[in-house]
Structure 1
């Protein structure tokens, strides 16, 4: 499996809260859930620390274990929790969290796991690729966005409304009827979307944080098939460049209302030697 990727923070002066890592047979992508200033997290560690620490643990485990991906994720969450349970309040609703996508190639199958709103796109040789995204967060959040979308982006009123919006969503995090992310509860592994496809049916795979998938699923400036073509012909950096161009064309979020005008963006493109 040949893997290429690019990642870029939302702003040069802020840490990138995405994590990406790969081996010849595995890919891990996490998108840390950054939150507005002024909200307590109960944790002395940053979101970037969490995504990097968990991402590294997951990638290491994938190289050593053939356990189901749900078990790999649960073990990774438990391991990272043990690193700061003595210094941080892990019961706090705002404890650092992240989305997770894992991909593992075996001799016969391509196994995948998706938790929260990062996106996996499988090019299986048909006109339309197979797109996997966990939309539970979007479904929970949709009724609560109306007030945000009626306020000028960046205004004091907007910032206060966004803090209230995030606080509301925290009540739905990692519970039945809400949405699931990687945080401190290993049970999140059991709630991830998982599956596998025969390895010889897959031509290529894209793994995207929502800062890169937004070119399609928020801006509508591309189809999934066109996105795969961009990755094949121009590479991951070209996809991020096009995303930044779209973001800059709407600096106040008027055309495409969104919580972050610019977002950390990570794109991974994998081709499989058996089919490529």
Structure 2
């Protein structure tokens, strides 16, 4: 597999809470769930610490663990929880968390796992790519968007409403009828979306944090096919440049209402050799 990736923080002076890493046969992309200032997490560690620690743990497990991706994912969550269970309140609803996309080549098969709103796009040689995204978070959040409606981004009223919005979503996190993310409960592995395809059927794959996928799924400035073409021609950094141009064109979220005007953006692109692409 030929793997290229790029990752950029929302703001140069703030930590990037995304993680991406690869081995010759596997890729992990995590999007840490950063919260607004003023919300407690019960944890002394940052979201970027969580995403980087979990991401590196998962990559290590993928190189030595023969189990399913769901099992590896659960094991990674369990291991990271053990690193701070004696110093932090892991029962707190705001403990650090992340979305996830994992990809692994095993023999002649490409396997994947997706949890929460990061996106996996597969070019299987059909007219339209196959898009895998766990939309449970969006479904839970939709009825509560009224909290932010009509409020100008950057205003004190918007900041307060966003804190209330996040606090509301926390009550749905990692429970039945809500949505699942990587946090402290290894049961999240059982709730992830998983699948596989013969590697000969796969031409290319994109793994995108929601800060990179927003060019298609929030801004509607590109189709998923165009996203794959952009990645093939301009690379992951080119996709992120396009996202930043769109974000800068709407500095107050008036054209595209969103909780974050700029978001951490991470894109990973895998081109499968033609010998494996059919």
TM-score with structure 2 setting the length: 0.98
Residue 173 of structure 2 is aligned to residue 173 of structure 1: yes
Structure 2 residues not aligned, in runs of 5+:
none
Residue 268 of structure 2 is aligned to residue 254 of structure 1: no
Quote the offset at 1:271 in angstroms: 1.2
Residues 184-242 of structure 1, C-alpha deviations (whole Å, 9 max, x = no match): 00000000000001110000000000000000000000000000000001100000000
Paired position in structure 1 for 2:56: 56
The correspondence of residues 212-227 of structure 1 with structure 2, limited to 5 A, is 212-227=212-227
Paired position in structure 1 for 2:66: 66
SS of aligned partner of 1:94: coil
* Runs of 4+ with >4 A deviation: none
The correspondence of residues 15-30 of structure 1 with structure 2, limited to 5 A, is 15-30=15-30
Quote the offset at 1:150 in angstroms: 1.4
The correspondence of residues 260-275 of structure 1 with structure 2, limited to 5 A, is 260-273=260-273, 274-275=276-277
Quote the offset at 1:149 in angstroms: 2.3
Paired position in structure 2 for 1:190: 190
User: 1:272 and 1:59 mapped to 2: Cα distance?
Assistant: 20
Quote the offset at 1:108 in angstroms: 1.6
User: 2:106 and 2:225 mapped to 1: Cα distance?
Assistant: 25
Residue 123 of structure 2 is aligned to residue 153 of structure 1: no
SS of aligned partner of 1:121: strand
Paired position in structure 1 for 2:243: 243
CA RMSD of aligned residues (A): 0.7
Quote the offset at 1:147 in angstroms: 2.3
TM-score with structure 1 setting the length: 0.99
The correspondence of residues 206-217 of structure 1 with structure 2, limited to 5 A, is 206-217=206-217
Residues 98-119 of structure 1, C-alpha deviations (whole Å, 9 max, x = no match): 0010000111210000000000
SS of aligned partner of 2:221: coil
The correspondence of residues 45-194 of structure 1 with structure 2, limited to 5 A, is 45-194=45-194
SS of aligned partner of 2:148: helix
User: 1:149 and 1:103 mapped to 2: Cα distance?
Assistant: 37
SS of aligned partner of 1:3: strand
User: 1:264 and 1:162 mapped to 2: Cα distance?
Assistant: 18
User: 1:235 and 1:149 mapped to 2: Cα distance?
Assistant: 35
